[in-house]
Amino acid sequence: MTVKFWNFIRQSAGPLGFTAFFLGLLILIVAFFLSIFNKLSIEIVGLMLGLFSVGLGFIAIDRSFKSDSKYTTLLEQLKQGVINLPTLFKNDVLSPSGQLAVKMQVSNESKESAQNRLDADTKKVGYVRGELYQLPDGSWGIHWGGKYPL
């Protein structure tokens, strides 16, 4: 029951918050006119402050929920990006964990796929920037630079 109630509040917090806030604003305008005629009572001021507080609280819950949803989506996209990391940063400078991810991904690379990557780079820049070499596990990689200018 408590979980259902909390989920209801999280999902409807935005409209409830803005409604309460604007009702508080409306009562503030009424209180202003009542104060002009010396008819302002403490109950109206209390109601106005209460509606402002409730409205701002619900708005804060709504913003927090939306921020959490965006943060979760961003982390999921980042997780998918880490899976594709070796194709994005082919032998660039990475952190040790990034280098490990690249080695794990590239370690199964054949000589043909390494040559295709080197040919694509040569076609892109107009000159050769690396050379093929065989790794101890039998797969192939590209050594960038060395006798070739980057």
Q: Provide the pLDDT for residue 140.
A: 81
Q: Provide the pLDDT for residue 96.
A: 63
Q: Where are the alpha helices (DSSP H) in 37-142?
A: 42-83, 85-88, 96-106, 111-125
The larger pLDDT score, comparing residue 56 to residue 104, is at 56
What is the pTM (predicted TM-score) of this model? Answer: 0.46
Q: Provide the pLDDT for residue 128.
A: 84
AA identity, residue 1: M
Over its C-alpha atoms, the chain yields an Rg (Å, rounded) of 31
Q: Provide the pLDDT for residue 89.
A: 52
User: Are 132 and 142 within 8 A, CB to CB?
Assistant: yes
Q: In this structure, what are the phi and psi dihedrals at residue 100, rounded to the nearest 5 degrees?
A: -65, -40
- pLDDT averaged over the chain? 77
Average pLDDT over residues 33-53: 85
For 88-139, write each residue's pLDDT tens digit.
555 555 566 656 655 655 555 678 888 888 888 888 888 888 888 887 777 7
For 3-29, write each residue's pLDDT tens digit.
788 777 777 888 888 888 888 888 888
For 66-99, write each residue's pLDDT tens digit.
888 888 887 777 776 665 555 555 555 556 665 6
Q: Is the confidence at residue 148, as pLDDT, over 70?
A: no
Average pLDDT over residues 26-33: 87
